[in-house]
Structure 1
Amino acid sequence: MPYEIESYLVTEEIIQKLSDVSSPQGLIGVCHFPQESHISKQVLLCDGIQDPGNMGTLIRSALAFGFESLVVDHCVDVYNPKVIRSTQGALFKINIIEDNIIDFMDKHPIHYYATDLSAQGQFEKKHHEEFGLILGNEGQGVDPEIINKADSVIKLKMKKVESLNVAVAGSILMYELGGNR
């Protein structure tokens, strides 16, 4: 995708006003919001992710492991400055869709994996050409209504800890489900 770049002389004072960090790097970028494109074969769906660092890490991992579409429902703003910084540019290479997850699932009949700490049995990866991975809020997890609609309910097998940070767990699951094909 070609990018049009224009240069302007911007003073240090202007950069200080535009930046939300105490020691800006001296560069400011102006970007257009990406337009929604096709739905990829691997979709990451985020239900209520609130921490900007978690969201940024998930976006970066999604792109790294072949999840080129991201559905966000009641999440932190993906254009939050902390999210943008933590994506390291991945934000501008992923298809972002703001939609109700249940509505998205109804419109796109693919295989859905929902994460839930109370899931029974072992996580077994099954090959699905098209699928979605649903991750939930840091405190409450995935909404029970979404879990009930999912095709598979999964959790990571862990030793000596109850749970992992959503960004860590999500990254592992994205790798296991699609990133190591």
Structure 2
Amino acid sequence: MLLLARAPPLPPPLAASYPATPERALRFRSISSSRAAVATASAAAKPAASSRSGQKRKQVASVANPLVKHCVKLRLSAAYRRSCRRLLLVGLAPILEMCRFELDAIDYLLLLDGVEVPEELREFCGDVVYVSAAVMKKVSGMQSVDSTEAIAVMHMPRHFRDLGSHEDGDSLHGLFNHPKRILVLDGIQDPGNLGTLIRSACAFKWDGVFLLPASCDPFNEKALRAARGASLQLPVVTGTWHDLHELMTKYNMKMMAGHPESSGDASKGIQSLSKELADSLLNESLCLVLGSEGNGLSSETLQACELVNIPMEGKSILSHNSQAIWI
């Protein structure tokens, strides 16, 4: 794996405007239906006594409650998550990591009966829902609730774009402001790997992550846990090679892809990573593509990108002025 680090400022997320087309009207009707489901789930929780910190407290004991069904569907269905623009965070540790960035993004905080609101979440002003052990197991998908005392339903990040949807389809160019480094993931299917790559891109101050088709959903529970909050900090875009080509052309970005020298693909030359190559790229705008765990790079990537392999001598190549290549 190859990351070329810079430190450009992250662009602020911009609101998108949507033309009034019949197709978009259909999309909005679908979104309205999903929002109605969210509203129904909200109304289904029974009110309980207010907490001393001022949160609205509710109680859910039945696994048949609409809020429980809504949460389970958020955990299991990427399409439902995107239609509702909501995601599910299971476990107190990932909730606290996410809330360092967007505390107000929480719709509901589900707590196991008898658990107090954590000190770090005292400022949370949304709904606190106390649930039975049976409900916690159902929502979390886990057999034991010993280590699962909290679940949060959160808004998706404002800077997430799904270019295959009518809602987000024409909002790509408002997301990036002259990006210098974009990490492109070509069919990454393991959610843990995907979350780790998003976290790495964020750590190296890249401008965003672009997910090509066949990549897993970045808001999968395991992907969120592995990203450790990076999914809320970094723009994440899902789209096709056509969308990526538009981005590359608009910002005059160079396309490179990590590719093993031993692959036997002699159709085009493969450069070896070196300090000289890294230094030559410092002032270039770059899209770096990494392929899937099993199949490697797609044919589209092989045709569109310059290929580079990473020598496996176990050495890191560092350049000057805090610019680095991480292996």
Give TM-score scaled by structure 2 length.
0.46
Backbone CA RMSD of aligned residues: 2.8
Aligned length: 167
Confirm or deny: 8 A CA contact 1:113 1:153 kept in the other structure.
yes
Distance 2:215 2:221 in 1: 14
Taking CA–CA contacts closer than 8 Å with sequence separation of 6 or more, which of the two structures ends up with the larger relative contact order? 1
Please tell me the residue identity of whatever aligns with 1:132.
Answer: C
How far residue 106 of structure 1 moved from its aligned partner, in angstroms, is: 3.1
Question: Where do residues 51-130 of structure 1 align in structure 2 (5 Å cutoff)?
Answer: 51-73=190-212, 74-109=214-249, 110-118=253-261, 120-123=270-273, 124-125=277-278, 126-130=281-285
The equivalent residue for 2:324 is 180
Tell me, yes or no, if structure 1 residue 38 matches structure 2 residue 175. Answer: yes
Tell me, yes or no, if structure 1 residue 149 matches structure 2 residue 293. Answer: no
Q: Which ranges of structure 1 fall in alignment gaps of 5 or more residues? A: 161-171
- After the TM superposition, list the runs of 4 or more consecutive aligned residues in structure 1 that deviate by more than 4 angstroms: none
Distance 1:66 1:16 in 2: 37
How far residue 129 of structure 1 moved from its aligned partner, in angstroms, is: 4.1
Partner of 1:71: helix, strand, or coil?
strand
The equivalent residue for 2:187 is 48
How far residue 75 of structure 1 moved from its aligned partner, in angstroms, is: 0.5
| Cα-to-partner distance string for 1:124-154 (whole Å, 9 max, x where unaligned) | 212234211100011121113222212x311
Confirm or deny: 8 A CA contact 2:271 2:307 kept in the other structure.
no
Partner of 1:9: helix, strand, or coil?
strand
Partner of 1:135: helix, strand, or coil?
strand
The equivalent residue for 2:130 is 10
Highest Rg: 1 or 2? 2
Tell me, yes or no, if structure 1 residue 136 matches structure 2 residue 280. Answer: no
Distance 1:127 1:7 in 2: 47
Percent identical among aligned pairs is 26
Confirm or deny: 8 A CA contact 1:52 1:80 kept in the other structure.
yes
Confirm or deny: 8 A CA contact 1:49 1:137 kept in the other structure.
yes
